[in-house]
Amino acid sequence: METRKLGTGGLEVSALGFGCMGLSFGYGPAVDRDHGIEVIRKAVDLGVTFFDTAEVYGPYTNEELVGEALAPVRDRVVIATKFGFSYKDGKQEPGVLNSRPERIREMVEASLKRLRTDRIDLLYQHRVDPNVPIEEVAGAVKDLIRAGKVRHFGLSEAGVKTLRRAHAVQPVAALQSEYSLFWREPEEQILPALEELGIGFVPFSPLGKGYLTGKIDASTTFETGDFRNTVPRFSAENRQANQALVELLGRVAERKRATPGQIALAWLLNRKPWIVPIPGTTKVHRLEENVGGAAVELSARDLEEIVAAAASIVVRGERYSEAAQKMIDR
């Protein structure tokens, strides 16, 4: 797989990364440990070098899984993790953020142990904490970079003003936020700012939380514990209303002898050379399909068709619950 650079500090990763969250958290019950290790190591075999986790996924268990799976190939891969939530008695406090410098330092020490490594390649602030100036956050990460415990600094779901303020203290290598044909808001302000500042973009949910694969429709039911049960965009009514987008991808996919999901990923990869999507899955055959998306070639005509058709489609439903929306920095 080809590689891409995130930021200007020399961070080079595979064009597609792997979002590890769903193996332990968010989409129903966690997978069996051995199966999770199998999926992660299969991704390595397929050329993926960029793996994304966070202390909150589980919490903690996803970092442990990623650390065990990647230990044999640690020097060949890039591991990203995240801080930013508050915990009490080992459990996340719902909706409570904590990015105080002392908390960041504690988290890094604990994450290093769970990840079985001596450095975190890319450390993100998971959500912007309104109670801690971003300059203090960036300064804390800068100190960790100087100490050799962190290599690069990232932000997640941060707005342009926050990005600029953080970047002035410690260069930001990457912003991780949702971006796909299912959610195109970053095109308005985020992408121009990233290009100006030389910051890479790591879209999570590049397949619209599975919707753009064409395997989800109005009759689909989600398991208990699957957060899509709380997402307005995934109500049965909205899933039905948004089928036009999947049909568009299906038409292009048929012509290109690909799948709708592969077209969705190829479209993202064509947007900018510094965009690195991180699709996740719990299934080896879906992993193979996603990686295949990096090899799909879209012509200028294909891209024009997708953009023109998508512009006439109004996507229905908010992408987060009301509580989760409150934690998005604008």
Strand order, beta sheet including 78-83: 18-19, 50-52, 78-83, 120-125, 150-156, 172-178, 200-204
- The reported pTM is 0.97
**Catalytic-role residue among 57, 124, 179, 211:** 57
How far apart are the C-alpha atoms of 54 and 112, rounded to whole Å? 12
The answer as to CATH 3.90.640.10 being correct for domain 3-325 is no
Question: Cβ(48)–Cβ(76) under 8 Å?
Answer: no
pLDDT at position 94 is 86
Active site residue 320: no
pLDDT at position 91 is 86
Residue 130 CB contacts under 8 Å (≥ 6 apart), including other chains: 97
Domain boundaries along the sequence of the chain:
3-325
pLDDT at position 134 is 98
pLDDT at position 90 is 81
Residue 55 CB contacts under 8 Å (≥ 6 apart), including other chains: 63, 81, 82, 83, 85, 107, 110, 111, 114
Query: For the chain, how far is it from start to end, CA to CA, in angstroms?
Result: 34
pLDDT at position 148 is 98
For 269-323, the pLDDT digits (tens) are 999 999 999 999 999 999 999 999 999 999 999 999 999 999 999 999 999 988 8
pLDDT at position 243 is 96
Kindly give the parts of the chain with pLDDT less than 70.
Answer: none
Question: Cβ(260)–Cβ(211) under 8 Å?
Answer: no
In sequence order, the β-bridge partners of residue 14 are 3
Question: Cβ(302)–Cβ(100) under 8 Å?
Answer: no
